Amino acid sequence: MSETSHYLCINCPLGCRLEVDAAGDEVVEVRGNACKRGVEFARQEHSDPRRMVTTTVAISGAPLARLPVATAEALPKDRVVDLCRALHQLRLQAPVAIGDVVMADALGTGVDVVATRSLERA
């Protein structure tokens, strides 16, 4: 017996509305996708939804007050709010180079948070 769920594909700006038939975690059929990436998204979203996080972190001694950062890969969607809270508490010190890990193994997810730009000392 399968159940139908609905997801919005966020892989591209088209934003296809996906209709997904699944038996438990197993996706049986996907409708509404304009390309095959939608099928992969539906499978991932149904069984293990994940999101990238991009935000800023407070930094001292730099020309800007905040450093742009992002997760190196997607982490479980239900950890996103906790990660944003943890990053809100973080205080960095310049200099930081693009690609530097500013939070390793964030929340024990195995996902690093990295700087997405460099900031020299002011």
Closer Cβ to ligand SF4, 44 or 55, answer by number: 44
**Would you list the DSSP string of the chain?**
--EEEEEE--SSTT--EEEEEEETTEEEEEES-SSTHHHHHHHHHHHS-EE--EEEEEEESSSSSEEEEEESS-EEGGGHHHHHHHHHH-EEES-B-TT-EEETTGGGSS--EEESS-B---
State the minimum distance, in angstroms, from the CB of residue 15 to ligand SF4: 5
State the minimum distance, in angstroms, from the CB of residue 8 to ligand SF4: 8
Closer Cβ to ligand SF4, 22 or 103, answer by number: 22
State the minimum distance, in angstroms, from the CB of residue 77 to ligand SF4: 17
Q: Report which residue's Cβ sits closest to ligand SF4.
A: 38
Closer Cβ to ligand SF4, 4 or 60, answer by number: 4
Could you tell me the CA-to-CA distances from 99 to 36, 57, 78 in Å, in that order?
Answer: 31, 14, 25
Taking CA 69 as the corner, what is the angle to CA 66 and CA 74, rounded to the nearest 5 degrees? 155
Binding footprint of ligand SF4 on the chain (CB under 6 A) = 9, 11-12, 14-16, 33-35, 37-38, 41
State the minimum distance, in angstroms, from the CB of residue 42 to ligand SF4: 9
Closer Cβ to ligand SF4, 38 or 69, answer by number: 38
